[in-house]
Amino acid sequence: MKSETATSCNETLFRRYRQTGDSAALSALYEQHCNNLYYYLLVMSDPNTAADVTQKVWLKVMESTQDYQNQGRFQAWLFTIGHRMLIDEFRQSKRWQADTDPDTLGSVTPVNDNEADFHQLLKHLPFTQREAFSLQQEGFSLQDIASICDVPVETVKTRLRYARNNLKKHWKTL
């Protein structure tokens, strides 16, 4: 119920911004979603790229208000824009690594702090697994993740299973 209220509030705020240009409505959306979007992009990239893409996403939201069709959660639409812009950024900077080899998890340098260890492990997951796992941790449903990543739900389930298995396997080695 709380989630439905937040979703309808987001829809109302965005509709108000789209129809009247109410900057307070956009500011409220920004305050509510900016940190989650940045964190997702940070897990998928580095701090500078995450900050740049976060800024570009909000500019895109401001420019493309008519693209939002009210056919899903505002947050899912926002993260879809972030996902696409991050991939564009990787392609432009030649850092795109669609590495699906599980052996890339091989050499993780242990650190003392468990949270830092976990984030280090996340960085070594293949991009597609890390993305699905991060979105799930942000609270997105399987359907939302599939929509954001533009893949079938079964593919999301597979990526999540591989991500969890890889994380479990390599967490034990720390």
Q: What mean pLDDT is predicted for residues 144-148?
A: 93
Structure tokens at 133: 């796992």
> Domain boundary residue among 96, 117, 149?
96
User: What is the mean predicted confidence (pLDDT) over 91-119?
Assistant: 54
Average pLDDT over residues 81-88: 93
How many CB atoms sit inside 10 A of residue 70's CB?
11
Mean pLDDT of 83-98: 77
- Indicate if 108 and 169 belong to the same structural domain: yes
Check whether residue 3 and residue 71 sit in a common domain. yes
The pLDDT of residue 114: 64
**Domain end call among 96, 131, 155:** 96
Q: How confident is the model at residue 143 (pLDDT cuts 50, 70, 90)?
A: very high
For residue 91, the model assigns a pLDDT of 85
Q: Please tell me whether residues 92 and 104 are part of one structural domain.
A: no
Total number of domains constituting the chain: 2
Above pLDDT 90, what percent of the chain? Answer: 47
Same domain, 52 and 80: yes
Q: How many CB atoms lie within 10 A of CB 140?
A: 21
The pair of three-digit structure tokens given for residue 67, joined into one six-digit string: 């693209």
The predicted model scores a pTM of: 0.70
Among residues 45, 64, 96, the one where a domain terminates is: 96
User: Would you state the structure tokens that stand for residue 164, as one six-digit string?
Assistant: 């969890």
- Quick one: 87 and 119 in the same domain? no
CATH label of the domain that carries residue 57: 1.10.1740.10
Query: Do 36 and 62 share a structural domain?
Result: yes
Structural domain of 76 = 1-96
